[in-house]
Amino acid sequence: MLYGRTTFSKFIIEEQRRMAQPDAQLTALLNDVQTAVKYIASAVAHGALRSAPVAEAAVNVHGEEQKPLDVIANDIVLRSCEWGGQLCGMASEELPDPYPIPPQYPRGRYLLVFDPLDGSSNLDVDVTVGTIFSVLAAPEGVTEPTLTDFLQPGTRQICAGYALYGPAVMLVVTMGRGVHGFTLDPEIGAFTLTHPDMKIPAETREFAINTSNARFWEPPVQRYVDECVKGGSGPRGADFNMRWIASMVAEVHRILVRGGLFMYPKDTKDPAKPGRLRLMYEANPMAMLVEQAGGCASTGRLRLLDVVPQDLHQRVPVILGSKSEVERIERYHREYESGADREFASPLFNVRSLFRAA
């Protein structure tokens, strides 16, 4: 057994020491987050071993069916993080409005935004799920935040990360100085640094997208996927692999480990929804991680972190991963909107005939 390895708690303390002004509140908050992750990991690991759900599933604010573990995970994060005095408010994908800190607890200067159990539709088939979180600074002097106080662009995130509940439980975090992955050691109950300074290769030959929506995609996305599918015999001159797990944490983790591209683009399937994924709970935290690892994150038209939220549950298109591929798709969007991607047809050189078509 190896001793003296860097645990998550030790890592965040050392990161704070490197800063001009160490922040004990942020250190304590991240320790509370890792506690919540351990509780959720235990709940997920029991799976069907539970004789009956400890909470009844319902329909959340988005009209989606909640799994019992969605409710459990949401409650775990709230209970684990509300008491410590680092937060003045929280917002969850599972709740319609911001969650106020109970009056018996002290207030801090941070806001926590989270998706308690991303990919929960995969629970029945035992596929990897996770928790996504983002830390924002509350406006100066605010102790009882309103909705407006949460609506900050992703560029203002202090910290972001996700937990992965798979073959191993992992916690992947950025505090604005690179991306670092920690694996839960079940023998000592501590997250240990196993993936320091994760980097996304600029080039990739792997992409992830739900092709069942192909008929609803915009032309730039159709163009990109079509070129990838044509492989070595197409304009890209190289073969690509396609992946789709339907769990964002699993998709992003694969990209951080070996590169690739993840897309949930804008489509016409439901014109009322500009995208599928939520800006505050999913897109912004993952965009910060991806950029810190050397990748890119975009809506196809705009850098994700520059999008100014208009609503707590706002949806956006998401295209993120290896830099060169994200930039290519952005170029395809520009060419589509300018008309540069359409073939020029000259009426002077059309095929002519003595006979008119019927």
| Alpha carbon distances (Å) from 316 to 100, 287, 301, 309 | 26, 12, 11, 10
218 with 81, same domain: the answer is no
DSSP run (H or E) holding 183: strand 179-185
Residue 1 lies in a domain: no
CA of residue 49 relative to chain centroid, distance: 29
Q: Give the list of residues 6+ apart from residue 275 with CB closer than 8 angstroms, or none.
A: 264, 265, 266, 299, 315, 316, 317, 318
Residue 52: the pLDDT is: 47
Unique residue bearing structure tokens 């604010």: 61
Mean pLDDT over each residue of the chain, to the nearest integer: 91
Residue 80 lies in a domain: yes
41 with 123, same domain: the answer is yes
Structure tokens at 148: 């407006």
Categorize the per-residue pLDDT at 274 as very low, low, confident or very high, splitting at 50, 70 and 90.
Answer: confident
How many domains would you assign to the chain? 2
- The answer to whether residue 79 scores a pLDDT higher than 50 is yes
Residue 314: the pLDDT is: 97
| Alpha carbon distances (Å) from 349 to 340, 342, 353 | 20, 17, 12
Q: Convert the pLDDT of each residue in 206-230 to its tens digit.
A: 999 999 999 999 999 999 999 999 9
Structure tokens at 128: 């990897």
246 with 187, same domain: the answer is no
**Of the spans 45-49, 91-95, 122-126, which averages the highest pLDDT?**
91-95
154 with 40, same domain: the answer is yes
29 with 127, same domain: the answer is yes
Residue 352 lies in a domain: no
Residue 22: the pLDDT is: 81
Parent domain of 217: 206-338
Q: Give the alpha-carbon dihedral of 146, 67, 315, 177, to 10 degrees.
A: 80
- The answer to whether residue 14 scores a pLDDT higher than 60 is yes
Q: Half-sphere exposure (CA, 13 Å, Cβ side) for 336?
A: 16
Which CATH number goes with the domain that contains 102?
Answer: 3.30.540.10
Residue 356 lies in a domain: no
226 with 190, same domain: the answer is no
243 with 307, same domain: the answer is yes
Residue 340: the pLDDT is: 86
Structure tokens at 114: 């989270």
299 with 185, same domain: the answer is no
Q: Convert the pLDDT of each residue in 276-318 to its tens digit.
A: 999 999 999 999 999 999 999 999 999 999 999 999 999 999 9
Which CATH number goes with the domain that contains 315?
Answer: 3.40.190.80
128 with 45, same domain: the answer is yes
Judge whether 284 and 152 are in contact, CB under 8 Å: no
30 with 115, same domain: the answer is yes
**CB-based burial of residue 24 (10 Å sphere; 0-12 exposed, 13-18 middle, 19+ buried)?**
exposed
Q: Convert the pLDDT of each residue in 148-183 to its tens digit.
A: 999 999 999 999 999 999 999 999 999 999 999 999
Residue 174 lies in a domain: yes
59 with 185, same domain: the answer is yes
Coil vs helix vs strand at 221: helix
Q: How far apart are CA 142 and CA 324, in angstroms?
A: 41
Q: What is the mean pLDDT of residues 67-72?
A: 92
Q: How far apart are CA 119 and CA 69, in angstroms?
A: 11
The identity of residue 180, as a single letter, is: H
Categorize the per-residue pLDDT at 4 as very low, low, confident or very high, splitting at 50, 70 and 90.
Answer: low
- The answer to whether residue 105 scores a pLDDT higher than 50 is yes
Q: How far apart are CA 236 and CA 156, in angstroms?
A: 37
Q: Convert the pLDDT of each residue in 23-42 to its tens digit.
A: 999 999 999 999 999 999 99
Residue 56 lies in a domain: yes
Residue 344 lies in a domain: no
Categorize the per-residue pLDDT at 145 as very low, low, confident or very high, splitting at 50, 70 and 90.
Answer: very high
**What ranges in the chain are assigned the alpha helix state H?**
8-18, 24-46, 68-81, 147-150, 219-230, 248-258, 284-292, 323-338
126 with 105, same domain: the answer is yes
Of the candidates 320, 211, 213, the one whose C-alpha atom is nearest the C-alpha of residue 261 is: 320
